[in-house]
């Protein structure tokens, strides 16, 4: 793997409502579909030779739209559980707030655990024989991946990933 690109899924229905979605399935909002198409157009020149996606609906939709935009075979997208969103437990479906200590709530995947999962995800990606990998996933796991690859960037309080924006992690 020479290059690793990350795209957070397009705006979902639950994102638009301003609530925690975590492991709750939610489709893309029409705006999210437009965002995914735009990301695909931007990715055309990067010669992506593998797309790995969270299996969650909003990522499946985003990855499929991007694949079609760049001429990547949709049937060859890999859906991998390591890149699922952080479980938000009792917070799922409640108002999203950035000022919370999420680790203190019942059923929430701890920051330590999501960072550990991100490290496993990186090991998985490193074992693949591709030069330009695109991961389509979620904000929390994206921050965990970024922190695992670049420990100087903290997980807590680091810049959030915008919906359907391309970020080069490696």
- Catalytic site positions: 9, 85
Helix ranges restricted to H, the chain = 13-17, 30-43, 57-70, 111-126, 139-149
Q: 3-class SS at 19?
A: strand
Contact 162, 35 (CB under 8 A): no
What does the alpha-carbon distance between residue 154 and residue 29 come to, in Å, rounded to a whole number? 30
List the 3-8 sheet strands across, edge first.
78-79, 50-53, 132-137, 3-8, 166-168
């Amino acid at each position: 793997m020479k290059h690793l690109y990350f795209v957070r899924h397009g705006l979902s229905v639950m994102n638009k409502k301003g609530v925690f979605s975590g492991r709750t399935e939610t489709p893309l909002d029409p705006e999210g579909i437009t965002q995914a198409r735009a990301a695909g157009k931007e990715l055309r020149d990067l010669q992506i030779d593998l797309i790995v996606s969270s299996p969650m609906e909003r990522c499946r939709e985003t990855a499929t739209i991007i694949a079609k935009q760049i001429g990547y075979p949709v049937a060859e997208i890999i859906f991998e559980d390591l890149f699922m969103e952080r479980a938000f437990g009792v917070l799922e479906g409640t108002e999203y707030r950035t000022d919370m200590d999420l680790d203190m709530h019942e059923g929430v995947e701890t920051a330590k655990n999501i960072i550990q999962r991100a490290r496993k995800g990186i090991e998985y990606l490193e074992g693949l024989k591709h030069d330009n990998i695109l991961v389509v996933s979620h904000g929390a796991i994206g921050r965990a991946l970024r922190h695992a690859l670049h420990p100087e960037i903290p997980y807590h309080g680091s810049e959030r990933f915008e919906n359907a924006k391309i970020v080069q992690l490696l």
